[in-house]
Amino acid sequence: MPYPQPPWTLQGYALQTVHLINIDGVRHLIPSELEIISVFPGKTVGGVYLSYYGHGSVLEYSELIVIPAFVGYKGTIGGWVSHIYVDNPDSVAGGREIWGLPKEMAEFTWERGERVTVRQGNRILCSFNYKQQTFAWRQKLSGSSFSAKGNDLLRFSAEVESRLGFIGSKLEIPAESPFSEISLGQPFLTVRAEQMSLKVQAPEVVGHRTVEYSYR
């Protein structure tokens, strides 16, 4: 088995955008057993997470995660991951087999700490321009995410400690990108995490689907 067992401890940096998203446009991406959390009428919160995990990590890789909605299930709230890309095949295998995440391979180009582009072959998935932090503070945070493996609904938690700061950014998602249908638009908030230490825990089964879920 080429990938490490959980928890995975990862060291590096990350960018997180926050968007308001139309619930009707993403309902089909999320198992019907999960309630989409509404923050305004017809709107939920989602975002894009881009990261690089380097020296000191159980695996070294870049990652792109797309969260189309925050969801609830049996009193627990967390993000739902509809699309996720990495550049390490061991991370693909571990993500799929441990957490039931639909990881795919992609190529990441990080340019001078100002821009990152993610591609699959000749197809651009997204490009992200961002500014450097001018002010940051050290913070510990934790949260949960949901996934599905076969007929099982899974929940897993993560804890992060990092220097956080708000930055300006511009997100570009071409029409041919698999997640362009989410209509993310421009973020209303972007956070940069530096000197980040992240721990992702093993998943637990929290429920079952009546029909096996498949990613589009």
DSSP 113-175: TTEEEEEETTEEEEEEEEPPPS--EEEEEEEEEEEEETTEEEEEEEEEEEEEEE--EEEE--T
Q: Could you give the C-alpha distances from 86 to 65, 94, 182, 188, in angstroms and in order?
A: 9, 11, 20, 25
CA distance 12 to 16: 14
213 within a domain of the structure (yes/no): no
214 within a domain of the structure (yes/no): no
- Encoded tokens for 142: 């934790």
Domain count for the chain: 1
Asked, as a colleague might, if the bond just before 7 is cis with ω within 30 of 0, I would say yes
Phi and psi at 3, nearest 5°, equal -100, 150
| pLDDT of amino acid 1 | 56
> What range defines the domain where residue 193 resides?
8-208
DSSP 31: -
Reported pTM: 0.95
147 within a domain of the structure (yes/no): yes
168 within a domain of the structure (yes/no): yes
| pLDDT of amino acid 211 | 63
Please report, for the domain that includes residue 61, its CATH number. Answer: 2.40.400.10
- Encoded tokens for 53: 């995990």
189 within a domain of the structure (yes/no): yes
| pLDDT of amino acid 33 | 96
Q: What is the mean pLDDT of each run of 10 residues along the chain (216 residues)?
A: 92 98 97 96 97 98 98 96 98 98 98 94 97 91 96 97 97 98 96 97 94 50
12 within a domain of the structure (yes/no): yes
215 within a domain of the structure (yes/no): no
2 within a domain of the structure (yes/no): no
| pLDDT of amino acid 9 | 98
